[in-house]
Amino acid sequence: MAVRIWLHEDIGDEPGWEAWGLDFLGFATWAFTKDEVLERVPTKLEEYLGWLDKHGLSQPNPGPGIEVVEHVVGNEVLFAVDRYPATADEIDQTIRLIKFSRCNLLATIEPLSDEVLDWDPPYWNFAVWADWRTIRANLAHIANTETHYYLRHIGYEPTMPPVRPNDDWRSFLTQSRAEAIAYLERQKSSVDRARVKEDKSEHWSVRKALRRMVRHELLHWKSIQRIVREYNANYGSGTTAD
């Protein structure tokens, strides 16, 4: 059976193409063009399935080929299936996956020295509007995006203000994630697990928020790993043991 792919042609702040494999919660990859993103799917999906396997969630590899199910255009739009109510199992799966990604993230950052956490890498291409250049800023961005952007669009009211990069990441990562999981747990018994919200600029739903949450932390974990590798290549090991 071919890999089913949903394409999002983004015309917002970061124009390009996203290929989402909605049969694999949280899996997506990005490229500048349609042809490039479809070419990336097999390798990136293999990496994603390998990540699941490491956490004891083995899934069968799909067959060869790609089937494009839907193609949407715009900034923060919905796929048709995003409008359906999320199931309790999908919410449980989201919680399980973000716990795995958080374990990976913490294993990467806990040994790092302040010098690495605050190092500003020489990015070759970085959006001028993005405010998460350093690892420490990435951590604040992960927390804020989860509670003050994704979940806020589906009804969550944060109890803590947005965090800043110089706040204690050990504290805010723990608190924001605990609040996020508690909110998701409550949604399993909600009478409205669709929560489709549409306005002139952005469209949201529970199912969209779930897939975006899983994808987002994995994406920034990989970015942080790249920063660490580049720092080590230039300056040697950046662990706190040095």
Question: DSSP secondary structure string, 89-148?
Answer: HHHHHHHHHHHHHHHHHHHHHTTB-HHHHT-----SS--TT----SHHHHHHHHHHHIII
- Cα separation of 16 and 168, whole Å? 34
Mean pLDDT over the full length of the chain: 94
CA distances from 92 to 25, 80, 177, 214 (A): 11, 22, 15, 12
- Count Cβ atoms within 10 A of the Cβ of residue 207 and give its class: 0-12 exposed, 13-18 middle, 19 or more buried: buried
Maximum Cα–Cα distance for the chain, whole Å?
54
The rounded percent of the chain whose pLDDT value lies above 70 is: 99
> For the domain with range 3-75, which CATH number is right: 3.30.2390, 1.10.760, 3.90.920, 3.40.50?
3.30.2390
Banded pLDDT at 109 (limits 50, 70, 90) = very high
Q: Is 174 left (phi over 0), alpha (psi -120 to 50) or beta?
A: alpha
pLDDT at 3 over 70: yes
**Average pLDDT estimate for 118-132:** 83
Task: Over range 214-232, report the average pLDDT.
Answer: 97
Assign 128 a pLDDT band (cuts: 50, 70, 90).
confident
Alpha-helix runs per DSSP H in 113-237: 114-117, 135-145, 169-187, 206-235
What is the DSSP-derived secondary structure letter of residue 61? P
Domain with CATH 1.20.120.450 in the chain: 82-235
pLDDT of residue 156: 97
Closest C-alpha to 99, from 37, 157, 55: 55
58, two tokens: 């083995």
Residues of the chain with CATH 3.30.2390: 3-75
Residue 59 or 82, more confident: 82
Tokens linked to 104: 């990976």
Residue 20 in contact with residue 6, Cβ under 8 Å?
yes
Which pTM does this prediction carry? 0.94
Grade residue 240 by pLDDT with cuts at 50, 70 and 90.
low
Residue with tokens 């790993």: 225
Q: Give the span between the Cα atoms of 58 and 36, in whole angstroms.
A: 27
Q: What class does CATH assign to 82-235? A: mainly alpha
The answer to whether 31 touches 14, Cβ cutoff 8 Å, is no
